Amino acid sequence: MRTLPSFLIICSAFGLGGCASLYNKGDQGLTIDSEPAGATVHVNGNARGTTPFQYQYDPSDGRELDIELRLSGYQSAKFLMRPKRNNAVLFADAMLLGIPWIVDKDSPALYSTPGGDRKVLLFKEPDPDRMRYLLPITGVEVAMQEQATLGTYRGRPIKRGSESLFRELNNGDQLSSSVATALRDTWLDARSTRTGTTKGEELIQRAKVHVRPRITGVNATLTGKNNRCSGPVEMDIDWCFYSALRKDSLLFSIPMHTTHTASGEHSSQVIEDAMALAARRLADAPDLEARLAANYESGIMRAKGEPVKLIAPKPIAFEGRKDMLSALVKAVVTIQTKDGHGSGFLISNDGYMITNEHVVGSDGLVKVKFEQGFTLDAQVVKVNKDFDLALLKVQATDLPALRIGEDQALMLGEEIFAIGTPLDAALGQSVSRGILSGKRELEGHTYLQADVSINPGNSGGPFIDETGQVVGVATMKISGKGLEGLGFGVPISQALEMLNVSFE
């Protein structure tokens, strides 16, 4: 007769339909929405519906859900969810000898999805033809006191500086990198850098501006365990834009309040993800592009310096192609500085010449050696670091000078000659021949690309076209797979514009 109670318990367990149905009467799903709506919701790669979408967890989806939202014209957005198992149900199943598990094992009611409903902000696909603006990110400032309350985790207050949660707030460089990464696929060419370093200052000068986000508040309401967090993280940020021309001069700021919803990510990732969301929203801020464009144009105008008007040079006489190059090398010079040498070329008969800014560096006076064998002192009239250009002047008259050509009329496949000083300055001028293979956009600047041999001594020398006119300034060589032997130069029209030089 002792077997009867056990038999009744077993029958009762099956009759109840499993303990999950007793513990979880309500809907265990969540709403997945997007802005704008109408995005297709993919769960682990499978399309399930469109936003707003009511998702009901199915144990066959697995214990880790890869949710992706796709909408034509917008970048896809992804987030992870890790459903939690209801331990109270498991305990009840165990008390009933585990038999209800046969019923409960496939029941969605055994699980809950962390974080609640999700609304995801979608961002438009970048326009490949849109101009990209260089934007240095110079750290992240946290304007909150030590021990400031940053919200709650499992009902307990989160204090700044007192625990491992949100310790990323103490690492401005790491957050700066997160911002730069988030902006990678936007019209902002963001670079994480530091002020006060040579590389950082050069980057800031090129951009004419830099941004230092300032976090003024964090309010999180998180649940989770084992360093996995779910819930909303509100953040207040001032995006502070500073001038590169006037040190630490605030140009403007963009205040922002944003909410990131954590969905089971590691606690060390929560603040970085919140910053990344704020950065993507920054790229869509109204009037930001117009403000950066105006500041950049203002910086470009300043870099040009005062106008310089020259008299067009007399043409150098030569008979045919055979004599052309031997005649033109007389207008090409070797520029000697304390750090080395480079090349340059005369553009006027009274001693004005062009070279690269990096050739003269910070020197105000350099030595210029002519092909004819004599050397003169040259004053550095102005430099334009943005385009790596410098204008020099020697006190002399009746010097041979190159005629200005029309770089915009150049056709692919035309012959290009590069004249300059080889690595050994004692060897005099050298000439290399190639063809124009393209016009390339690099970091917002246009360069002539030719398969001519270029070495560091050639920097600042001229690119000559088939008629003997100067069409470019040799300024760089890029090495790498598929780029060996390519030379690059600033188009002469752009060089004259950026040095504010014109001819009468």
> pLDDT tens-digit profile of 145-198?
888 899 999 899 988 876 667 888 888 888 999 999 999 989 999 999 998 898
pTM of the model: 0.70
What size, in residues, is the chain?
504
Do 78 and 203 fall into the same domain? no
Helices (H), 17-66: 20-23
Task: Output the pLDDT for position 64.
Answer: 84
Task: Output the pLDDT for position 335.
Answer: 93
Do 493 and 433 fall into the same domain? yes
Q: Which domain holds residue 368?
A: 309-503
Task: Output the pLDDT for position 14.
Answer: 43
Report the distance separating Cα 383 and Cα 305, nearest Å. Answer: 8
Nearest to 265 by CA among 163, 140, 166, 152: 166
Q: Does residue 109 sit in helix, strand or coil?
A: helix
- In angstroms and rounded to an integer, the radius of gyration of the C-alpha atoms of the chain is 33
Do 92 and 148 fall into the same domain? no
Nearest to 166 by CA among 237, 234, 218, 224: 218
Task: Output the pLDDT for position 114.
Answer: 63
Q: Tell me what percent of the residues of the chain surpass a pLDDT of 70.
A: 84
Task: Output the pLDDT for position 503.
Answer: 95
pLDDT over 90 (residue 320): no
Contacts (Cβ under 8 Å, ≥6 apart) of 306: 382, 500
* Cα 504 to Cα 312, 348, 353, 445, distances in angstroms: 6, 11, 16, 27
Mean pLDDT of 433-450: 85
> What element of type H or E holds 80?
strand 77-81
Report the distance separating Cα 316 and Cα 373, nearest Å. Answer: 18
Contacts (Cβ under 8 Å, ≥6 apart) of 141: 172, 212, 213, 214, 215, 240
**End-of-domain residue from the set 287, 303, 319:** 303
Helices (H), 49-159: 87-95, 101-104
Per-residue pLDDT band for 102 (boundaries 50, 70, 90) equals very low
Position 390 in a domain: yes
Report the distance separating Cα 266 and Cα 262, nearest Å. Answer: 9
Position 276 in a domain: yes
pLDDT tens-digit map of 103-159? 445 555 666 666 678 888 888 888 888 888 999 999 999 999 888 899 999 899 988
Do 159 and 110 fall into the same domain? no
Do 471 and 453 fall into the same domain? yes
The alpha carbon dihedral of 14, 16, 19, 24 has a sign of positive
Evaluate whether 175 touches 168 at the Cβ level (below 8 Å): yes
Identify the weakest region by mean pLDDT among 198-212, 281-295, 417-431: 417-431
Identify the weakest region by mean pLDDT among 86-95, 228-237, 267-276, 309-318: 86-95
| Cα angle value 6/8/11 (rounded, 5°) | 110
Say which residue, 198 or 333, is predicted with more confidence: 333
Task: Output the pLDDT for position 477.
Answer: 54
Q: Does residue 10 sit in helix, strand or coil?
A: helix
The half-sphere exposure of 245 on its side-chain side, counting CA atoms within 13 A, is 12
pLDDT tens-digit map of 3-41? 555 444 444 444 444 444 444 444 457 889 988 999 999
Task: Output the pLDDT for position 10.
Answer: 45
Do 316 and 433 fall into the same domain? yes
Do 344 and 279 fall into the same domain? no
Per-residue pLDDT band for 478 (boundaries 50, 70, 90) equals low
Copy the structure tokens of residue 93: 């199943």
Do 12 and 63 fall into the same domain? yes
Position 357 in a domain: yes
Q: What is the mean pLDDT of the chain?
A: 84
Position 356 in a domain: yes
> Which CATH number does the domain housing residue 194 bear?
3.40.50
Do 90 and 139 fall into the same domain? no
Per-residue pLDDT band for 377 (boundaries 50, 70, 90) equals very high
pLDDT over 80 (residue 427): no
Position 191 in a domain: yes
Position 127 in a domain: no
Report the distance separating Cα 356 and Cα 134, nearest Å. Answer: 22
Task: Output the pLDDT for position 15.
Answer: 45
pLDDT over 60 (residue 224): yes
Question: HEC string of 428-473?
Answer: CCEEEEEEEEEEEEECCEEEEEECCCCCHHHCCCEEECCCCCEEEE
Report the distance separating Cα 46 and Cα 90, nearest Å. Answer: 30
**In total, how many domains does the chain have?**
3
Position 111 in a domain: yes
Position 126 in a domain: no
**End-of-domain residue from the set 78, 96, 121:** 121
Do 401 and 472 fall into the same domain? yes
pLDDT over 70 (residue 481): no
pLDDT tens-digit map of 54-85? 988 888 888 888 999 999 988 888 888 877 76
Task: Output the pLDDT for position 57.
Answer: 84
| Residue whose pair of structure tokens reads 């203002």 in the numeric block | 298
151 beta partners? 220
Do 357 and 499 fall into the same domain? yes
pLDDT over 70 (residue 378): yes
The alpha carbon dihedral of 109, 113, 119, 125 has a sign of negative
**End-of-domain residue from the set 79, 95, 121:** 121
Task: Output the pLDDT for position 147.
Answer: 83
Report the distance separating Cα 353 and Cα 331, nearest Å. Answer: 9
> Which CATH number does the domain housing residue 329 bear?
2.40.10.120
> What element of type H or E holds 282?
helix 267-283
Do 289 and 317 fall into the same domain? no
| Cα angle value 366/368/372 (rounded, 5°) | 170
Nearest to 238 by CA among 223, 217, 219: 217
Copy the structure tokens of residue 28: 């265990």
